[in-house]
């Protein structure tokens, strides 16, 4: 029996409402101690990523969110049989419990901000040209001119990053006040100044929304996107259980790559 | 009921896709039959929407999904 | 069933553009076609060389900024970096590779460069 998995909830009880998922099948809870895996039976793997299937999946998760704390499961996770499901629940039990406790009563909100990157860059170039300090000779060998050009570009890029940092910091100070956790991504693309998700306690939702409206009206030359409330997709923390590397080896490798990335920085 | 203006619908879909394809509980192992990772990679809105059109053609009727059902 | 999550924005098109730009819109299937294997290898090697070259450049910029390079050193570093850049352009040309192609996706850690 193929079980399509929607999420892990903080209850072993049966689901009272009638919820229908993929292939129109009924959604039910398979309990494991005091938690449960919410599933529906599927006859075949869904062919590719279609709008319909994705929305059906999301609708189920959001419906469950109204009554339970739910750890949303990635789209198209199909488990082969009930025994395998229970064995999976057993190996992840502690991780699931920890996450359910941490995410209890919390909602995820997404905030994206677009800024006029070209204009920002223009202003930086203007400012640099006005306060220009001739560090290097304007004429000289090809090598010197090469360095000069590179250095000017470097200064502009650096100032660009600094400005982005500043903008994001100010906004984040406002939002963080009402958030339990957050994940920020600065300059994912040149124009996407901020791509952030915040984990907000249900009781703080109003304050959080207000903080957003405040920032929106304070800086009207930027473009804003606000989304939510979402199930806590971005705040589930699970260790990667891989047989390829022992846990300790895997950690070292990740640390090394992260260190390297910091070194490379805004390359 | 949500706004059915095309562009707003697309942004919502993108936001959902970003979460549902890659985030949350990601389980791997022998017991998990799901489409290979490579097929779960986001293929771009245009490709996605054309799959829906294909679905419509196959079913011979406009696709009935949760967005069109009123409650 | 309806969805509860709402996405509010006055600029849906702009955000669609940025979101699409930032996502991996193409599947990265492993290509075992022998004709492309060579190109794949070249891409990998050149990506790593590019990484090192960019690191060197950045290091040089930091030293110029700090004023810790003598005139002669600036001359030498400039010449080296210039030659490196020209060589890379040449190699990219030979293998028909564009700048955007010389990158590695590290999954959850994002891109290498």
For chain A, give the DSSP string: -EEEEEEEES--SPP-S--B-GGGPBPEEEEETTEEEEEEEESS---S--HHHHHHHHHHHHHHHTTS-EEEBPTT-EEESHHHHHHHHHHHHHHHHHHHHHTTTEEEEEEEEE--HHHHHHHHHHHHHHT----S-SSS-HHHHHHHHHHHHHHHHHHHHHHHHHHHHHHHHHHHTT-SEEEEEE-SSSSEEEEEEEEEEGGGHHHHHHHHHHHHHH-TTSEEEEEEEE-SGGG-------SSS-HHHHHHHHHHHHHHHHHH---
The tally of CA atoms less than 13 A away on the side-chain side of residue A189 is 19
**Distance in angstroms (rounded) separating the CA atoms of residues A148 and C11:** 39
pLDDT at residue C99, rounded to an integer: 81
pLDDT, tens only, C24-77: 544 444 455 666 677 778 888 888 888 889 999 999 999 999 999 998 999 999
User: What is the domain count for chain C?
Assistant: 1
C15 located within any domain:
no
The answer, for A63 touching chain C at a CB cutoff of 8 Å, is yes
pLDDT at C41: 83
- Report residue C110's pLDDT band, with 50, 70 and 90 as the boundaries: low
Q: Is A230 in contact with C5 (Cβ distance < 8 A)?
A: yes
- Domain containing C59 equals 34-109
Q: What is the percent of chain A where pLDDT is above 70?
A: 85
In a domain, C21, yes or no: no
Does the distance separating the beta carbons of A241 and B21 come in below 8 Å?
Answer: no
Instruction: Answer yes or no: is pLDDT of A184 > 80.
Output: yes
Cβ within 8 Å of C, A 224-243: 224-230
Q: What average pLDDT does the structure give for chain A?
A: 88
Lookup: tokens for A242: 């891989």
Optimal mutation site among C13, C70, C74, interface A, most CBs of chain A within 10 A: C74
* 8 Å CB contact between B29 and A79: no
Find residues 18-47 of chain C whose CB sits inside 8 Å of chain B: 19-20, 23-29
Chain C CB contacts of B12 below 8 Å: 3, 5-7
Which of chain A's residues have a Cβ under 8 Å away from the Cβ of B16? 54-55, 58
**pLDDT band at residue A256 using 50, 70 and 90 as cut-offs:** low
Q: Does the distance separating the beta carbons of C9 and B11 come in below 8 Å?
A: yes
Mean pLDDT of A259-266: 56
- Which of B17, B24, B63 is the closest to A72 by Cβ? B24
Query: What ipTM goes with this model?
Result: 0.82
Q: Which residues of C touch A (CB under 8 A)?
A: 1-11, 14-15, 18-19, 21-22, 51, 54-55, 57-58, 60-61, 64-65, 67, 74-79, 81-82, 106, 109-110, 112-113
As for how many domains chain B has, the answer is: 1
Instruction: Provide the 3-class DSSP secondary structure of residue C97.
Output: coil
Q: Quick one: pLDDT at residue A244?
A: 42
| Cβ atoms C16, B45 nearer than 8 A | yes
pLDDT, tens digit, for every residue of A137-163? 556 788 999 999 999 999 999 999 999
Chain centroid offset of residue B10 CA: 11
**And the tokens for A199?**
């984990």
Domain-embedded: residue C3: no
Give residue-wise pLDDT tens across range B4-41: 345 667 888 889 988 998 889 988 777 777 654 545 55
Average pLDDT over residues C80-90: 92
- pLDDT given for residue A163 in this prediction: 96
Q: Which pLDDT tens digit goes with each residue over A82-112?
A: 999 999 999 999 999 999 999 999 999 999 9
- Looking at the complex, does the CB of residue B49 fall below 8 Å from at least one CB of chain C? no
pLDDT tens digit sequence for A229-246 = 999 999 999 987 654 444
Q: DSSP assignment, residue B62?
A: P
Identify the pLDDT of residue B50: 47
Residue C3: pLDDT over 70: yes
Length of chain B: 71
Q: Which domain holds residue B17?
A: 6-59
Predicted TM-score of the model (pTM): 0.80
Range with the lowest mean pLDDT among A16-20, A59-63, A208-212, C95-99? C95-99
In a domain, B67, yes or no: no
Alpha carbon of A83: minimum distance to chain C alpha carbons (Å): 30
- The Cα A156–Cα A128 span in angstroms is 8
């Amino acid at each position: 029996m193929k079980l399509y998995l929607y999420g892990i909830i903080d209850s072993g009880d049966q689901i009272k409402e009638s919820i229908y998922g993929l292939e129109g099948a009924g959604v039910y809870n398979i309990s494991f101690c005091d938690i449960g895996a919410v599933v529906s039976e599927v006859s075949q793997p869904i062919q590719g990523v279609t709008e319909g299937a994705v929305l059906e999946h999301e609708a189920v998760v959001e419906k469950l969110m109204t009554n339970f704390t739910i750890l949303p499961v990635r789209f198209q996770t199909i488990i082969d049989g009930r025994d395998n499901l229970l064995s999976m629940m057993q190996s992840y039990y502690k991780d699931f419990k920890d996450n359910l406790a941490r995410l209890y009563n919390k909602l995820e909100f997404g905030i994206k901000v677009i800024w006029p990157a070209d204009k920002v860059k223009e202003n930086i170039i203007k400012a640099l040209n006005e306060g220009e300090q001739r560090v290097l000779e304007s004429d000289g060998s090809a090598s010197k001119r090469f360095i000069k050009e590179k250095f000017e570009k470097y200064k502009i890029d650096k100032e660009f990053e600094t400005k982005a940092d500043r903008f994001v910091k100010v906004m984040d100070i406002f939002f963080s006040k009402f958030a339990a956790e957050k994940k920020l991504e600065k300059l994912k693309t040149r124009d996407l100044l901020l791509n952030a998700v915040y984990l907000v306690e249900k009781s703080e939702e109003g304050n959080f929304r207000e903080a957003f409206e405040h920032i929106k009206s304070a800086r009207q030359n930027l473009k804003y996107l606000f989304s939510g409330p979402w199930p806590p997709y971005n705040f589930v923390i699970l260790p990667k259980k891989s047989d390829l590397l022992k846990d300790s080896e895997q950690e070292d490798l990740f640390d090394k790559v992260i260190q390297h990335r910091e070194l490379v920085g805004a390359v | 009921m949500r706004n059915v203006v095309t562009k707003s619908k697309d942004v919502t879909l993108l936001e959902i896709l970003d979460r549902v394809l890659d985030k949350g509980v990601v389980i791997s192992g022998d017991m998990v039959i799901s489409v290979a990772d490579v097929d779960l990679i986001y293929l771009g809105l245009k490709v996605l929407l054309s799959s829906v059109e294909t679905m419509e053609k196959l079913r011979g009727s406009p696709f009935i999904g949760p967005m069109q059902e009123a409650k | 069933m309806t969805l509860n999550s709402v996405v509010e924005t006055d600029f849906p098109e702009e955000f669609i553009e940025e979101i699409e730009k930032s996502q991996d819109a193409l599947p990265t299937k492993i290509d075992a076609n022998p004709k492309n294997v060579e190109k794949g290898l070249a891409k990998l090697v050149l990506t790593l060389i590019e990484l090192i070259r960019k690191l060197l450049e950045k290091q040089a910029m930091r030293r110029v900024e700090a004023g810790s390079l003598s005139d002669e050193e600036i001359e030498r570093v400039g010449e080296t970096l210039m030659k490196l850049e020209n060589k890379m352009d040449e190699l990219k040309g030979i293998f028909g590779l564009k700048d955007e192609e010389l990158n590695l996706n590290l999954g959850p850690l994002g891109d290498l460069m």
